[in-house]
Amino acid sequence: MIKTLITGAAFLLITAASFAQATIWKTNAQPLAEMAKLRKLIKSPVFKKADYPVTKYGAVGDGKTNNSNAFKAAIEACSKNGGGTVTVPVGTWLTGAIYLKSNVNLHLADSAKILFSRDTKDYPIVFTRWEGIECVNYSALIYANGETNIAVTGNGVLDGNADREHWWNWVYDRTPGAGTQGAARAKLAVLNKQKTDPKTRVFGDGSFLRPNMVTLINCKNIRLSDVKMMNSPMWFMHPLLSENITIENVKVVSHGPNNDGCDPESCKSVLIKNCLFDTGDDCIAIKSGRDEDGRRIGRPAENIIVEDCMMKDGHGGVGIGSEISGGARNIYAINNTMDSPNLQRVLRLKTSSSRGGTIENIFMKDIKVGTYKNEALSFNMFYENPGNFMPTIRNVWVENVNIEKGGTYGVYVRAYQQSPVQNLHIVNCSMKGVKTPIKADYLKDAIFDNLTINGQVMKAPESK
């Protein structure tokens, strides 16, 4: 079927570009050394010792008073005076969108709660990406663009205040007169395909494209730590085109639609450590833009470490894609624990020939899995409709993944004959209770070294 999409010299050109200069790991020593170097490069921002309590600027923590202006005033004063900490005391602090400025640490006291407004008028229209496509839409609940040295910290709660009657109903409410996002989502995809100026793609009221909880665009030196996040309208943490990011000890608990836990998109140098994800979509989904926008901008997601995290419910524990047109490389996932009958996949790579892009140098080691539902290791090049851009997946190393109770598939590969999953190396892995150990069509140079499924040592399928 793909021959009807990509033929002759055009296909050969795309294929040659995709498979050039691939790294091939022969042992785990090289990725472990690369990860150690990367870890040293990721550093948390440091803030001036100055305190700006929101109460000084008129905030009232009664859960009813709208404190948007107080948060704005406190953050602006803090940033203008060289930075410091904007403190949120114990209480419930209702607010609209928060714009985070350079050199500001927004810190929640223990048991403090920031409760976000359900009124769309409290969310200004800003430049953003929505599911990997650039547009102008509602601000995220916490938003920054082009800022440096920013943080959200503390043992408080960020409550997006979404439920089936607010925000989430824009997805699946079918009651008469209810607005849903379908038409605007389709329109945005068409505008992307037409390569229109992103600044003219204006949505907002009447379009029903939900905002994320945290979107940080073109920012450097970021820290998100210790807070609990719940009830986001859509994705939770969405750093975008940003670098030097530490996400640590964050707890994400929410089962709404598209409630991804963390979506670093086109980001560089990211550490996600000791976090809890119990979500209604992917726990972690690493992205780099959708289709035309992703290819035009051409910024891969790269140099990302995911370690010591706990994944419960979710579509995937560690996911890469599907908005992956800019590519992804050098992704390391180690010492993570996953366990839920509602966790659909352990490692999930999802792309298509409408996406294109190269996913390479993926290293997963020391993963403990109680149970999962669908596939343990999933590589799917047919996630969405086909197009003219052949995807590439290569150089994936999976080691010491131990699964107590498996799901439908152990290893699942659905690839193109012209672009097989290349250099998949599975080492010292054990999976029990799997219905179908391996379902794979096109693999090239795969090595299964002591992969045991249901007590049987499995051999890699022969290259086709």
The catalytic residue positions are: 281, 315
Measure CA of the first residue to CA of the last residue in the chain; give whole Å.
Answer: 17
Provide the b/e sequence for 93-105 (b: ≥16 CB within 10 Å): bbbbbbbbbbbbb
CB 219 within 8 A of CB 144: yes
| Torsional sign, CA 45, 50, 54, 58 | negative
CB 452 within 8 A of CB 428: no
Calpha distance 325→403 (Å, rounded): 31
Backbone angles phi, psi at 356, to 5 degrees: 70, -155
Q: Which two tokens stand for residue 349?
A: 């790579």
Please tell me whether residue 441 adopts helix, strand or coil conformation: coil
Please tell me whether residue 177 adopts helix, strand or coil conformation: coil
On the 0-12 / 13-18 / 19+ scale of CB atoms within 10 A, 278 is: buried
Backbone angles phi, psi at 35, to 5 degrees: -65, -40
CB 344 within 8 A of CB 373: yes
The gap from C-alpha 282 to its chain's centroid, in whole angstroms, comes to 8
Please tell me whether residue 220 adopts helix, strand or coil conformation: strand
DSSP assignment letter at 57: G
What does the radius of gyration of the chain's CA atoms come to, in whole angstroms? 22
Calpha distance 58→73 (Å, rounded): 9
Calpha distance 137→208 (Å, rounded): 10
DSSP assignment letter at 122: G
CB 216 within 8 A of CB 100: yes
Strands 92-95 and 375-380: unpaired
Q: Using alpha carbons, select from 374, 368, 310, 327 the residue that is nearest to residue 348.
A: 374
DSSP assignment letter at 80: H
